């Protein structure tokens, strides 16, 4: 990678030298995504309606986001049905934030925010709060009945099991993502420092796959939790 284990370029920016890398990298990713969305919006506004609707034959800046959004929408539609459009902004934000943060570890001089448990746990807790909020929003307090199980006389057994299964979800999301990205970043660093030519190419290809797969898994689990909350709300 060409940098030490704890080095990142933000250390050279006045005022950021003592800021933890997961905070500076996370802020940089948010700014990058916000700026990119504004640029895409300006491009769409500057085009004629027909050109904005009809996809370009060549992959361009807007076309890239079209591909990503379309893929995420189809994924969400498979689990959430007609509600996919409503949840698409959240799903897109989660996927892009995790994926771009993962990619930061592939750039020499940068460290991914997702290799820090504070970042991954924050995202996991957000997902946990959001899907439970949606469950209560659509099912009211009746949504909470699914924690008690199908029969009242089994509530004493089902309640602790359901509670534990839900409470551990943000932690499993956080630790899975953090562990895989840290491992990928470590392997890439070791190979690059040991053999700076040739061999790191394979490590970079593998690293790109890990970045995408981990973002996909995190997004997929978010969709699964939303789908389960939606089903529980409607069932009760």
Query: What pTM, to 2 d.p., does this model score?
Result: 0.84
Which tokens in the block code for residue 208? Answer: 């790109």
Q: Is 54 domain-assigned?
A: yes
How many angstroms separate the CA atoms of 4 and 109, rounded? 8
Supply the pLDDT for residue 5. Answer: 47
Show the beta-strand stretches assigned E in the chain: none
Integer CA distances (angstroms), 224 to 90, 176, 235, in order:
14, 16, 16
Q: Is 26 domain-assigned?
A: yes
How many angstroms separate the CA atoms of 218 and 181, rounded? 12
The three-class DSSP label of residue 19 is coil
Supply the pLDDT for residue 155. Answer: 83
DSSP secondary structure code for residue 154 in this structure? G
User: Mean pLDDT by 10-residue block, N- to C-terminus, for the chain (236 residues)?
Assistant: 52 68 81 86 65 59 77 91 91 94 83 90 96 90 83 84 94 94 81 69 84 94 93 74
CB 8 within 8 A of CB 1: no
Q: Is 2 domain-assigned?
A: no
Q: How many domains does the chain have?
A: 1
Supply the pLDDT for residue 58. Answer: 65
CB 9 within 8 A of CB 110: yes
Owning domain of residue 99: 9-235
Q: Is 173 domain-assigned?
A: yes
CB 44 within 8 A of CB 62: yes
Supply the pLDDT for residue 38. Answer: 85
Is residue 215 classed exposed, middle or buried when 0-12, 13-18 and 19+ CB atoms within 10 A define those classes? buried
Q: Is 110 domain-assigned?
A: yes
Supply the pLDDT for residue 1. Answer: 39
Q: Is 1 domain-assigned?
A: no
Supply the pLDDT for residue 56. Answer: 59
Q: Is 4 domain-assigned?
A: no
Q: Is 19 domain-assigned?
A: yes
């Amino acid at each position: 990678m060409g940098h030490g284990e704890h080095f990142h370029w933000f250390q050279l920016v006045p005022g950021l030298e003592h800021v933890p890398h997961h905070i500076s990298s996370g802020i940089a990713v948010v700014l990058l995504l916000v700026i990119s969305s504004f640029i895409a919006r300006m491009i769409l506004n500057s085009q004629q309606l027909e050109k904005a609707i009809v996809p370009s034959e060549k992959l361009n800046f807007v076309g890239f986001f079209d591909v990503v959004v379309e893929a995420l929408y189809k994924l969400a539609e498979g689990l959430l049905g007609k509600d996919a459009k409503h949840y698409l902004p959240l799903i897109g934000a989660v996927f892009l934030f995790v994926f771009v943060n993962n990619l930061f570890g592939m750039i020499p001089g940068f460290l991914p925010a997702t290799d820090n448990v504070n970042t991954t746990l924050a995202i996991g807790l957000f997902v946990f709060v959001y899907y439970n909020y949606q469950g209560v929003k659509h099912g009211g307090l009746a949504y909470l009945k699914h924690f008690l199980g199908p029969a009242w006389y089994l509530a004493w057994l089902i309640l602790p099991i359901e509670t534990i299964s839900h409470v551990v979800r943000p932690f499993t999301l956080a630790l899975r993502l953090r562990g895989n990205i840290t491992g990928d970043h470590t392997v890439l660093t070791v190979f690059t420092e040991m053999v700076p030519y040739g061999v790191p190419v394979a490590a970079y290809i593998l690293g790109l796959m890990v970045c995408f797969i981990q973002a996909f898994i995190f997004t997929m689990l978010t969709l699964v939790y939303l789908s389960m909350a939606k089903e529980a709300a409607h069932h009760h």
